[in-house]
Amino acid sequence: MEEKVMPVDVPDGVWVLDTGASNHMTGMPSALTQIDTSVRGTVKFGDGSSVRIRGMGSVVMQDRFEGHKVLTEVYYIPELRSNIVSLGQLEEKGFKYVGEKGRLCVYDQEHTLLISAPRVGNRLYLAKFGLTPPVCLLAQSDDKSWNWHARFGHLNFRSLSNLSDKSMVEGLPSIRKVDRVCDGCVLGKQHRKPFPQVSSFRAEKVLDLVHADLCGQITPKSIGGASYFLLVVDDHSRYMWVEMLKTKDQALECFKRITLRAENESGGKLKAIRTDRGDLTGQKMQKFRLLMDRKSAIELSKNPVYHERSKHIDTRYHYIRECVSNGIAEVDHVSTDRQLADILTKPLGRIKFLEMRQLLGVSDVCHD
């Protein structure tokens, strides 16, 4: 069966989202910033023709919140009559695209909508970008609400609106409600408890407690080729041992030698060691799966952006988010009815308790 496909003219400033293109391309030099003319090469099309690459640059787009998004590694090809966005190149950089109901949506690494393109004739997805020159938005802003927010030392917008409505400040314009969260306010309200000046515990004898930490990978390497060093500190005497290591898996044997030497010199025995996450074994933490019944908690663990309602969370509680970012933890959703942790954290009815206990594999060994 042969299907008749009509070509579609692409207007100026419109970009074609293409799954078959190997790279972003444009023929408009005005759309690019910082063009590197040393980049050369050729691009071959499906009909066998080829054109020369005359440089590579970046395209700065403005989103609906007046923020800037950058499309990098865009080829400049003067002979090209269409602007092409390579979906494969975006996906390679961690972007995600979804097509449904006649529209193709592209999301960045933070799951924020970047491009929304409708399907037009010839089954093409076309998007018109609001191109803008790169400027520092902290230094230049046309939004009066944000300007007055900064002038009053990041005073909240509700209070600014009250000052304006009640004419409490001469010259203050009407402040509209702003739905976005100020990043500076959120970061400024992040807090952690101060480090104690004096430890609440101090070992009474040598080797009652030692602290150990494996540091590295160090760049550049030492003269002897070492990329790590092991630091061991006695809690009582504050005596320190430092050993240089070429590989991380040497840490355990090195620590054994330090312990043996210290025990021979002091005449005592090591009682306790304090370290973080088993660095001395030289093994990476095993990947684990965490099931949650709250979708908001899952989004907080996967999204590195600080939310308005999470701005007061102490930074020490961000461990799960770090594990997800490092690929150690995998967070999935489970319905509340199947959340086995509830049997340990909530008072359950008898029927629900027996159901959860059975799912855990716990059997009743006491018989009436």
Q: Are residues 264 and 292 in the same domain?
A: no
Q: Is residue 352 part of a domain?
A: no
Domain count, the chain: 4
Task: Determine the pLDDT at residue 63.
Answer: 64
What contacts 268, CB < 8 A, 6 or more positions away? 205, 206, 207
Specify whether 82 is located in the same domain as 162: no
Residue 54 domain-assigned (yes or no): yes
**Are 148 and 53 in the same domain?**
no
Same domain (yes/no): 75, 167: no
**172 shares a domain with 105:** no
Q: What is the pTM of this model?
A: 0.37
Structure tokens, 287: 């990947």
pLDDT at 1: 35
Helix axes 144-151, 157-165, angle to 10 degrees: 100
Q: What is the pLDDT of residue 97?
A: 87
Residues 250 and 320 in one domain: no
Give the CATH number of the domain where residue 40 resides. Answer: 2.40.70
Q: Sign of torsion, CA 322 323 327 331? A: negative
Together in a domain, 120 and 69: yes
Domain coverage including residue 149:
144-180
Q: 248: domain CATH number?
A: 3.30.420.10
Q: What is the distance between the alpha carbons of residues 295 and 311, in angstroms, rounded to a whole number?
A: 18
241-275 as b/e: b if 16+ CB within 10 A: bebbbeebebbbebbeebbeebeeeeeeebeeeeb
Q: Is 193 a domain residue?
A: no
Residues of the chain short of pLDDT 70, as ranges, are 1-12, 63-68, 132-143, 176-181, 189-192, 198-199, 277-285, 303-319, 365-368
Same domain assignment for residues 256 and 321: no
Task: Please report the pLDDT score of residue 247 as a whole number.
Answer: 84
Phi, psi of 259 (to 5 degrees): -65, -45
Pair 270, 301 in one domain: no
Is 245 within the bounds of a domain? yes
Q: What is the pLDDT of residues 90-130, one digit of tens each?
A: 888 888 888 888 888 888 877 778 788 888 877 888 888 77
CB 11 within 8 A of CB 81: no
Q: Is residue 190 part of a domain?
A: no
Residue 199 in contact with residue 205, Cβ under 8 Å?
Answer: no
Establish whether the linkage from the previous residue to 217 is cis, with ω within 30° of 0: yes
Q: What are the tens digits of pLDDT across the range 229-269? A: 888 888 888 899 988 888 887 888 888 888 888 888 888 88
Residue 149 lies in a domain: yes
